[in-house]
Structure 1
Amino acid sequence: MARNSKECDQIIHEVNKNKVKLCICHNQLFLPTVLQVKKIVDSGNFPLTYFKVSVRESAELIGAPSWIMTLEHGGALWETGAHAAYLQLHFLREVEKVWAIGEKIQNPLYDHFIVMLTNPSQTIGVIEISWLAKKEEEKFEFIDTKGRKIEIINYNFFLENSGGKEKNLLEGFFKDQKQIIKKWTKFFLTNMSNRKLKGCIPQYILLTEFFKSIRNDTDPPVTPEEGRRTVRLLEYIEESLSKNEPVNVNKDL
């Protein structure tokens, strides 16, 4: 993975010069739950106004080597934040301002930080990453202009909340029970199945689409230019963290 946008430009130049195809492994874009939400958002029936990616983990939990938390390799921002960055770009499409705050609690680089993104459509994106957790937890939260909410928990739990007011206490009770049953049913089905195999589904979809693009001579599912946008957004987040102030995004994103 390129560590700055200049390296991305060099890679893109070589790809174009040698007329080869390069696909960037933004695998979380191909999670079945993420594909489902993207279809809902793109339908126009869920005008997105807020999208939050929250990840709690640690280097030990994900098996990251100690050298990850060095300046050269970027730490939690570049290891975990890269996924959050391309997800935000996927749903927000454009970003015009970045505001990040964080702390270096147990590591020489930021290990707990929050990022706020704004775009011209007045959609707010939020990234919260903590590398201080004792248990892994990933949560994607989508809210539309009508207050309806969709949540993806630990990549596989898909929960919807219409945002409508229940007519009475009994209706609210049954609605809550339905959500709980749905969540736990999904939990047991997930844990009874082969989790390693399930974790390969996004990669399988991505590779299938990439092979299809090679056969049809079309753009890969994730282009090098999209990879560059992710790296550039990470650079803006780094700048905001170091300055401890909002940063305006230029047209190079």
Structure 2
Amino acid sequence: MPDKLKVGIVGCGAIANIRHIPAFLKLKNQVTLQAVCDKNEELATNTARKYGVPGVYSELSQMLAKEKLDIVDICTPPQIHAPLTLEALAGGCHVVLEKPMALKTTDCDQMIAAAQKHNVKLCIVHNQLFYPPVIKARKLVAKGAIGDFIGMRIFMSDPRDEMIMRKDYWVHKLPGGIIGETGPHPVYKSLAFIGRVKNVDVQASRLLEHPWAPFDLFRIDLEGEKGFSSIVISYTSSRRASTIELLGTEGALNIDLLSMLLIRQGKNQSMKPLSLATSALGNAARIAGGVMGNGLSVLTGRGEFYGHNIIISQFVDSVRSNHQPPITAEEGRETVRVIEMIVEKLKTLGGANT
């Protein structure tokens, strides 16, 4: 094992520049950012110049041939995850790639087999599992802090002026359309609590006028081995929101992923005015304290709010120490399997690409 692992980035868009590359740069004692690759040569050149990366390529095959890379990080749209991953694995590189792992479970199976064949690691970036309140919530549920786990509710709202209103955005060409890009996040968060999904039910509607996206409001119900998950995803609001409610026999956990807050609720309190007021004041104090603490962490640079730093650091450690990556390819495949189930339901509603 070399002193520093050589890393190549494939795809130089926003997610690479904002999340992945900075995460690797934080590991400068363990890795060297050796090369970047993008079909858009100008984008690749600008990214390389910005971060002082020596190698610039427009084709993965060129990068693999000329650079002795240990890790390839794939940050492209998911339509090309599978072929790029297979090429990198065949080149003997460990691979970390953005969600979703691929568009089909059959592609995932090929990727898993290739990683095993070439004895390299494959990790999927399910970054929101590494948000601090989600990490804490998983520990609390595991130790029975809210009693027996019953199920969960997830709400996500993406501003309508981002993906949904852009006719030429690549997300609209995914199976299921825009849900194929955003959907993996609530799915993998659900799987972390409810286990393997047995049944899926989907409702969808369109509130805005955009013929390239048949639906902009989704209700997805997942029945898992350990409980249920009810997911609502909206692309019609003017603001962003992302919350999780975890329900148990002895209480609940409420998570706000934008403010990175977790509030633990006990059993139903008395409906008497004094009891309700006391509970409300307590929650308000916890929210205010959490927001202030998180704000200070952001200002001082001590906070970890997006999960990429943690998952990439743990992936590098798994390569160096030869242990299981933080998110396995099998976990990535399970998320893709559930997305496929959702897409099949959307087809019956007349709103899924084939």
**Structure-2-length-normalised TM-score:** 0.62
Determine the C-alpha separation between the residues in 2 that align with 1:114 and 1:89.
Answer: 17
What SS is found at the alignment partner of 2:307?
helix
State the partner residue of 2:308: 203
Shift of 1:193: 4.4
Shift of 1:62: 7.0
User: Match of 1:161, as an amino acid?
Assistant: Q
On the 8 A contact 2:123/2:315 being kept in 1, the answer is yes
Q: RMSD value over aligned CA atoms?
A: 2.5
Determine the C-alpha separation between the residues in 2 that align with 1:15 and 1:196.
Answer: 40
Where in structure 2 are the equivalents of 1:225-236 lying within 5 Å?
Answer: 225-236=330-341
- Which structure is higher in RCO with an 8 Å CA cutoff and minimum separation 6? 1
Determine the C-alpha separation between the residues in 2 that align with 1:127 and 1:119.
Answer: 13
User: Match of 1:112, as an amino acid?
Assistant: L
State the partner residue of 2:103: 3
What SS is found at the alignment partner of 1:96?
strand
User: Match of 2:262, as an amino acid?
Assistant: F
State the partner residue of 1:115: 220
Determine the C-alpha separation between the residues in 1 that align with 2:104 and 2:300.
Answer: 32
Distance change (3 Å), C-alpha of 1:74 and 1:168: closer
Determine the C-alpha separation between the residues in 1 that align with 2:306 and 2:145.
Answer: 27
Shift of 1:224: 0.8
**Larger Rg: 1 or 2?**
2
State the partner residue of 2:123: 23
What SS is found at the alignment partner of 1:70?
helix
Shift of 1:232: 0.9
Match for residue 81 of structure 1 among 165, 180, 183: 183
Shift of 1:61: 4.3
Determine the C-alpha separation between the residues in 2 that align with 1:72 and 1:149.
Answer: 35
User: Match of 1:239, as an amino acid?
Assistant: E
On the 8 A contact 1:56/1:138 being kept in 2, the answer is yes
Where in structure 2 are the equivalents of 1:1-253 lying within 5 Å?
Answer: 1=78, 2-46=102-146, 47-58=148-159, 60-61=161-162, 66-72=168-174, 74-106=176-208, 107=210, 108-121=213-226, 123-146=227-250, 148-155=251-258, 156-166=260-270, 169-194=273-298, 198=303, 201-244=306-349
Kindly provide the CA deviation profile for residues 128-181 of structure 1, in whole angstroms up to 9, marking residues without a partner as x: 1011110001111111123x1211113402112102424954343222101112
**Structure-1-length-normalised TM-score:** 0.85
Structure 1 unaligned blocks of 5 or more? 245-253
Determine the C-alpha separation between the residues in 1 that align with 2:295 and 2:221.
Answer: 33
Structure 2 unaligned blocks of 5 or more? 1-77, 79-101, 350-354
Determine the C-alpha separation between the residues in 2 that align with 1:63 and 1:190.
Answer: 30
Distance change (3 Å), C-alpha of 1:24 and 1:170: same
Determine the C-alpha separation between the residues in 2 that align with 1:230 and 1:186.
Answer: 31
Identical-residue share of aligned pairs (%) = 25
Determine the C-alpha separation between the residues in 1 that align with 2:284 and 2:195.
Answer: 33
Determine the C-alpha separation between the residues in 2 that align with 1:36 and 1:200.
Answer: 13
Q: Which is richer in helix?
A: 1
Shift of 1:102: 0.3
Determine the C-alpha separation between the residues in 1 that align with 2:321 and 2:182.
Answer: 33
Shift of 1:31: 0.6
Distance change (3 Å), C-alpha of 1:16 and 1:109: farther
User: Match of 1:67, as an amino acid?
Assistant: Y
Distance change (3 Å), C-alpha of 1:63 and 1:191: farther
On the 8 A contact 1:61/1:135 being kept in 2, the answer is no
What SS is found at the alignment partner of 2:186?
helix
State the partner residue of 1:247: none
Shift of 1:242: 2.0
